[in-house]
Structure 1
C-alpha cells in the first residue's frame, strides 16, 4: 500500500466543482471565505496529500486575486492543512503518524465531552440524522469518497452537540486534517462501511436517550479508527512513519 507522493502534480486536477464555489464568495470576498471553501473541499477529499496548489488555476476558478488566495493559503498553513516550500509553492500537507495520534486525542476530548454534556432527552440530533442519510445514500451508489465526506459531517455534528461556536470552528480544521489521513487507506469501502454501521448504532443510542452508553460506544469507535489508520500508515510509504 502506498500513499500519494508529497510532490504529486496537481496539473490535471479537475477544478470544475471549485469554480462552482465562486458564487459563495459574493462581491465581498475575503481570504477567510476562500480559506473556508478550500478547507471544506479538503474535507471532501478534492485535494489529496502532496498535491501542489496552483495559484493561477485556483484563483481563476474562484475569481479571486493572487494576494487574497495567498492569504487564504497562509491561514490554512497555520491550520496544518497546507505547507509552503520555498521556491516550490504551496502543497497539501502529508500527515505523519504522530499527527494521527494527536488528531484522535483532540477528537476524544471534544466529541466524547460533547456527548457527555448532553442534558435531558430528546437531544438535538438533526445534524447526525442528515449526515447518516448522506452516508447511506453514498454507500448505495458505491461512492465511498462521498461516504468518507458524510462521516466527516457526522462527527462535525457530534461535536456540534456541545452547541459551541468555538468548538465547531476547532473541529472543522481537525476533521479536514483527518480527511487527509483517509487517503492512505487502500480499500475505502472496507474502511468506511463498518463505521457507517457504527454511526447508525451511535445515533440509535442517542435517540433512546442513552448519552452515557453513546459516550462509551464513541470511545471504542474512535480508538478502533485511530488504530486502523496508524496501522495503515505503518504499512505505507508516508514520510516520517
Structure 2
C-alpha cells in the first residue's frame, strides 16, 4: 500500500475522538449534559484560550513535562540497568529479582503518606513517585526481552567468534528491543497517571496544580481542560516512542511488514 494509505490509516484513529467531542457538544447544547457536570467542548476551548493568553498554561505544561521526563529518566534508567543485569547474570537475578517482584506488587500510589514523610512536599516526592511508577514496566520488560532472545542466535554469534560486547550489542540487545519498547510505552502511561496524583501534593505549579486551583473556584472547564491536556501529552509521548520503535526496529520482520502495508 502507498504512503497515502498509511497516513489515512493513522488519521482514521482520530475519527472516534472527534465523534465523541461532537456528541458531547450536541448533548451539552440540548441540555442532556448540564454545565455544572461537564462543560461543553466549546466552553473548554474558551478556557484554553483564556489560560493560554494569561501564560499560565505554558508554565504549567512546562513544569509537568519536566517532572514527568525527569522521573522517567531516573526510574527508567535504573529499571533498564537492573533488567539488563538480571537478564544477563543469573547471580544478579537470584539476589535481587525476588525482592523486586515483592515490591512491584505494592501499589506505588499507596506509598504517598510514607513518601511525604521521607521527602516532604517538595519536588523530591513527586519525582520519586513518578520514577517508582515507571521503574517496574521497564525493568520487567527488559528482563523478559533478554530472556526470550533466541538461544540459537546467541550460539551462532559465539560460533562466528563474537566477543561478549559484540554479542550483546549485535544479538542480545536488538533481540530484546521489541519487549523494551513495550515496557517504555506502558511506563509512559503510568508516568502521566502518577503525575496527576503526585501534583496534588501541595504543588505550586503544574497541570495538577492548575486543576486543583480550578476546583477550588468551581472552574469545571479548566479542570476538564487539564484532564484533556494530560491525555494529549500522553498520546504525544506514545506517538514519539512508536516512531522511535519503527526507526530502531526496521530490521524486524513485523515492522517491515507494517512499513510495506
Asked if these proteins are the same fold (TM beyond 0.5), I'd say: no
TM-score range, shorter chain: under 0.3
Normalised by the size of structure 2, how large is the TM-score?
0.25
Higher helix share: 2
Higher strand share: 1
Highest RCO, 1 vs 2 (Cα 8 Å, sep ≥ 6): 1
